[in-house]
Each structure stands twice: as structure tokens, then as C-alpha cells.
Amino acid sequence: MPRFTTMLRTALTLFAALLCLQPATALALAYEAHLPPELFSAPDLCAYTDCKTVLPGAERFSVRDGQPRFVTGYKGDKAIGYVFLSTDLVDIPAYSGKPVITLIGMDTQGRFTGIRVLKHSEPILLLGIPETKLEAFVGQYHGKSVAQHFEVGSGDKETVGLDAISGATVTVVAENQVITRAAQQVARKVGILKAEQRPTARYKDIGDLPDWDALVKAGAVSRLTVQPADVGEPDTGMPYLDLWLGVLNHQTLGRAVLGATGWHDLMARLKPHETALFVIGSGAGSFKGSGFVRGGIFDRVQVKQDADTYTFRDLDYLNLYSLQAKGHPAFRESGIFILRDASFSAAYPFRFVYLANKQDKATGQRQFINFDAKLWLPDAWLEGGRPAVSEPEAPWKKIWRDKAVSIGFFIAFLAVVAFTYSRRDWLTAQATIRDKRWVAWPKYVFWTISIVWIGGVLMAQPSITHVMTWFHSLISRWEWELFLTDPFIFIFWWFIFITLFVWGRGLFCGWLCPFGSLSEMAYKLAGKLGLKRFQRHLPKPLHDKMKWVKYGVFFALMALSLWSMTMAEQFAEVEPFKTTFLVGPWNRSWPFQLFFAVVLGVSLFVERPFCKYVCPLGAGLAIPTTFRFFGLRRKKECGPCKACAVQCGSLAIAADGKIDQRECLLCLDCMVYYHDDHACPPLVHERKRREKAGLKLTPIGRDGYFIPIKEVRSDAA
Ligand code: SF4
Ligand code: SF4
């Protein structure tokens, strides 16, 4: 068997090599392009990308500073337009769950002068959809005004229709939001677009002064919590930043927080259209930041209301030394920020945004991350109640609506698979070890659908990267929207999660995983095509050692993700799933192609080698399988007998006859044996005994044996 270990070692070595070669050999221009870290953080944006390509005619550019972040392009001394990086302004994930990083140019009249996609992670754009289609899509904005309304699809008098990219609708819907929302922010900042005028809030006195708990319960104050993991800091068991905030103009809230005198003094300083917010904070992070000292601008906080962004200067800040509300939380920092723009109205919902800086420890790359808390005074706290607002529809809702039919089929398919498996006793009772059609054919059909439709068309191959993302979300910020963007992955994971605890991971791994299905299908086909005599299992003692490798890979990736998610995602390429289904082998560089070919090639001779020894996802699912509710049937004689162990391609039946449910892929081969009264030794013995005694054979559960009911002549042999 050393040949198998050599093959496995070769595969792993190749994998390590291809990780090193990945950036240099990427075939597509913007797909996972390597961008300099400074592009996201350095003041001189245009030193790290060619800004002139999106603002032709500009001779020099300013640095980016303040909020929102953009640079101004000059010809001579005259400002001719603005250039901005989408991720400086908006955080909208596309199909891949990551943003399409876009450089946008706009002249001083608000006309788009150029748009370039610098980086995307959209595998769908590599599957027969050339990247030039995305370039053509963003080219449609050229010469049009930021004041216009853009919609993917057909336009009308008020809307500019944009040609979608067939097969990549989600990507272009997200990209349209990225471009328009980013441009609107800059246009409002520089005065091209007028901020929306909202009626001033009319506050309603609630009477008795509430204590802190009552304010929280009523929803009059909001909380914004940032965990250390969110900003790449070591876990201290405490939030990195814990902010509480509210609108002081409201007489009840203002008097509760400042006391009657303090509130009257504050109101006397404000003009009628001005709004004051109090903010208190605890934790190692600071919401005031150092920008206040440097340039008189608070660079860590801002307020957003629809597309309007409001920032604060030193003149918009007042000290706040204490809070009057009983039971208020302890705080380290406090202050009052004044929104002086008449377009802002506290009657409408708004977001208080904290802008953090996260450094990826492994790559050194800095990333800006926004955290926000929504504030909207309670309905009963406003004269006439809350005004009607039309919030923009979340992109995931449109995706679910557009894919409703496929989602319906997908759910139906999963239900059929689960139902089929739930009938395993009946199915395995119909089969014999010489004729396994009743068990084999349903699986062949499900495998084919999984490979072609789920993997190839829906690209819904679950992956360890999903587990890492959830793991991170659980310990930092859980965002349903991030997971809802891909309905198939979302539904699939719920199915996996539920069936994992009911039957174990085998239903997914053995019946539904697109790559696992492909691997086993390749093995079965190779056997049928004459390679059976070369097909082998690893010796059980060696297998029992090698199976732990995948658990090592799983824990290594999870640990690495705590250190650097970027690096963990690169190493997650140990799963050939991306090459197989998301990107396609023909779209990848040769090391990935070779790794894919080796894994699949070994699968022709060894049953599911990747699943048994390498797959971190399989390992991650195997661990909770320990707690599955329903195991497979065993007889008391199974221990000493072990005859069915030779049927187990997963080598999951131990020397004592027990099934290792973590390794079992629920192929049901052993169950066919278990029910076959011409194969299972104790059953053969029992059948013969009963036949001899002229007894009827009994159905399941009667006395621990399963013998199909069939009339047997008492003189039958
Ligand atoms: S072990 Fe991995 S590749 Fe194999 S079936 Fe399970 S998840 Fe899929
Ligand atoms: S033969 Fe092995 S993998 Fe298949 S159901 Fe039985 S124990 Fe599980």
C-alpha cells in the first residue's frame, strides 16, 4: 500500500505548490486580483492605481481625507472631477459574498467619466461569462449623470435601464448599487446633489422621566457593540467598543439624560433645525479617535440618513461629563455631537456609523470596516407617529424572488432525498448483495443531479469557507444578510445542519455533496470500465491513522482563520470544489488543474480518497455526527461476525463490529447485507432454522432479526 500514501503525499505537495503559484498564474484580470494594501488606506489613492483612466484629462490628484473618502482631480489649478474607491464608501457584497472593488470617476457636473473593476471574487464571471461583459456593464454609466436613477433591466422616463449580464444578475444588481450609492454620497458631499429635505421632527413629551432601562426598552436609545475579533484585536472577554446613543432634542430623553437644566441649556444653544446626539462609550476602542486632534474632524464617526452622510467637526462637539438617567451603564468616553445640516431629521431613521481599521495580521493588509447602529425614535415619541419611509429593498430579497422557481425545485429535491433515505429499511430489504439496484439507483440519480445541477448549475457546493465565515460571525457579528445572498447555500446548510443531528453527516456526504458524488461516481464508473482489478482500499490500520489527517486540516484551517481569514481562504483551496464547480478547471492555472486531476485520478482507484483523508468539511461535519439521533441497525451478532465490514467502502466498521458513524457515509451497503437472509451469517442460520421448523419468516423488529415476510415452503432447503 505504500503506493497510495505516495499518491496522497504527492497530491498534498502539489497543492502546497499551487498555493504559492496562485497570484502569478491567475488567468482572469480582475478575478481575485492582488491589490496593494495601501490602495485601501494610504491618503494618496492615485499612487496605487491609475486614477487618470477613470478621470481622463486630470493632471494631478489630491489626497483622500475626511468622510466620505474621495480625491479631487485637477487640470492646472481647476478641479475637473472626483475619483473614489467603492469600498471607501459602501459595503455591498456581490454574489460571492465579497464586494466588487470598483474605481469610479465623476466630473464636477456629476457625469460618470469612467469606471473600472479592480478586483472581484465572482466565480460566476469565469464560467463562460467573459470579464469583458462586466467591463461593458460598467461602461453603460459613462456620460450619464449621478442624478439619474439606474435600474438593471428596462428603463422608462424616470429610470435609466441597464443591460444585465445573463447568468450574473446578482453581480450586476449589487454592482449597480455600489456605483450609484457611492457616487451619490460624493455628489452630495461636493454639492452636485442637494441633500433631501426632510421635515423637522416634532417630538412628543412622554411625561414621567424614565430610567435607563425604560429608555432602552422603549427603543429611545440604541447600542453599537464592536467585538475585538471584528477589528483583529485579541479577545479580552469584553467588547472592543460598546456605544450607547440617542437624540437629545427629545424632551423626555434629553431631560432624562442631561437633567432639566442641562437639557434647557443645550436647547438654548441649538438652532431649530439642529439635532444633538449623545454618545457614551466603554471598551479599549475610542469613538473620538485622533483625527479630532489632528484636523478638527472626527474621523471615526458619522451619521447616515439614506444617501446623505453627515460628519462632525470640533465645532459640532460638546463635552458631556455625566448622565442623569438612573441605572445608566459605566462609560469611559462621552460627548454630544450636533448635526447642523437642515436636511437631517430625527423623525426619520438614521444610522450612527463607527469606522474602524482592521489589520490582517498575516498579510499586513489594512481594511476599513463600518459598524453601525440604527436609530429611530419610537412611534409614540413623535407627534403624529413615525412618518412613512420606503427603505430600499435588501438585495437578497430580489435574489430570492428572481430564483423562486429554482429554490422550489431545490427544496423539493432535498425533501425527496431525505424521504428516500428515511425509507432505507424498505429499500435495503428489496435489495440483495447480488442485486443492489433498489439502493444504488436512487443514489446514482441523486448524485447526477448533485453534480450537474447543484454543483455545476447552482454552484451550491458547501465548503469549509462557509463554516469559517459562520464561526467568525458567531464570535463577532452575525449578519443574516450575508448568508441570505445565496439562497441555495443557505437552504442547503439548514438541511445539512438538521439532518446532521438526525442521521449524521452521511446523508449529505454520501448522497448529496457534489464533489463527493463526483468522486464516488468516478470510482464506480472506473470499476465498470475495467479498472476494478486495480481498485484497492488502504489497509485498515493505515486507514485508521490516515483518517485523522482531515481533522488536522479542519482544525488547522479554523485556527488559521482566527489569525488571518484571507490566508485561511487561500489554504481552503485544499478543497478542489472551487476548481471543480465554481470556477471550472479550464479557467484555472495549471497547478490547480493538476491538483484537481490528481484528486480525481486517485478517485478512480481508491474510493473517495479526498473524503476519507483530506476533506476539512467532512471532518467538520463528522464531529457533531457523534450526537446524531438515529444510527444504523446492528444485531447482537454483528460484533463477532463482521461479515458486512468487507462491504464498507468507507472502512467505517471497526474490529468489534461497531460502525464509526463519523466515518460512515450511509451508503447502506452494509444494511443490504444486514437484511439479506442469504448473506448475513446469523440471518442465514436463522432462516435455515425457521425453514426447518416450518416457521414463517418474520418482519423487522420482532426478535432483533429482519427477515422479509415471504411464505417459504417448509420443505425448502
Ligand atoms: S467528505 Fe467532503 S468532499 Fe466528501 S462528501 Fe463529505 S463534504 Fe463532500
Ligand atoms: S457500509 Fe460502511 S459507509 Fe456504508 S452504511 Fe455501512 S458502515 Fe456506513
Closest ligand 2 atom to residue 666 Cα is 5
Closest ligand 1 atom to residue 615 Cα is 2
Please give the residue that has the higher pLDDT: either 12 or 342. 342
Please give the residue that has the higher pLDDT: either 515 or 156. 515
Residue 611 Cβ inside 6 Å of ligand 1? The answer reads: yes
Q: What is the pLDDT of residue 24?
A: 37
Q: What is the mean pLDDT of the chain?
A: 85
Residue-wise pLDDT tens digits, 645-662: 888 999 999 888 889 999
Crossing angle of helices 590-603 and 2-25, in 10° steps, is 160
Ligand number nearest to the C-alpha of 503: 2
Nearest protein CA to atom 8 of ligand 2, as residue: 664
Instruction: Quote the cell numbers at residue 548.
Output: 485523522
Instruction: Quote the cell numbers at residue 102.
Output: 470598483
Please give the residue that has the higher pLDDT: either 627 or 705. 627
Residue-wise pLDDT tens digits, 218-268: 999 999 999 887 887 877 888 999 999 999 999 999 999 999 999 999 999
Residue 669 Cβ inside 6 Å of ligand 2? The answer reads: yes
Contacts of 499 (CB under 8 A, 6+ apart): 418, 507, 508
Is pLDDT above 60 for 306?
A: yes
513 Cα to the center of ligand 1, angstroms: 6
Ligand number nearest to the C-alpha of 466: 1
Phi, psi of 515 (to 5 degrees): -75, -40
508/522 Cα distance (integer angstroms): 18
Question: Phi-psi region for residue 93, left (φ > 0), alpha (ψ -120 to 50) or beta?
Answer: beta
Instruction: Quote the cell numbers at residue 659.
Output: 460502525
Residue 653 Cβ inside 6 Å of ligand 2? The answer reads: yes
650 Cα to the center of ligand 2, angstroms: 6
Diameter of the chain by CA atoms? Answer: 109
CB 92 within 8 Å of CB 178? yes
Please give the residue that has the higher pLDDT: either 534 or 208. 534
Ligand number nearest to the C-alpha of 667: 2
| Amino acid identity at 187 | A
505 Cα to the center of ligand 2, angstroms: 12
61 Cα to the center of ligand 2, angstroms: 66
For 219-240, the three-class secondary structure string (H helix, E strand, C coil) is CCEEEEEECHHHHCCCCCCCCC
Q: What is the pLDDT of residue 590?
A: 87
Task: Calculate the alpha carbon distances from 5 to 158, 228, 518, 598 in Å.
Answer: 66, 42, 22, 13
Residue 20 exposure: Cα atoms within 13 Å on the Cβ side: 5
Q: What is the pLDDT of residue 21?
A: 46
| Amino acid identity at 248 | L
Nearest protein CA to atom 1 of ligand 2, as residue: 648
Q: How far apart are the first and last CA of the chain?
A: 43
E strand spans, 67-143 = 71-75, 78-85, 101-107, 112-119
pTM assigned to the model: 0.69
Nearest protein CA to atom 6 of ligand 2, as residue: 670
CB 372 within 8 Å of CB 355? no
- Give me the mean pLDDT over the 86-108 stretch: 85
Residue-wise pLDDT tens digits, 21-66: 444 333 457 777 788 888 888 889 999 999 999 999 999 999 986 6
Is pLDDT above 50 for 711?
A: no
691/674 Cα distance (integer angstroms): 19
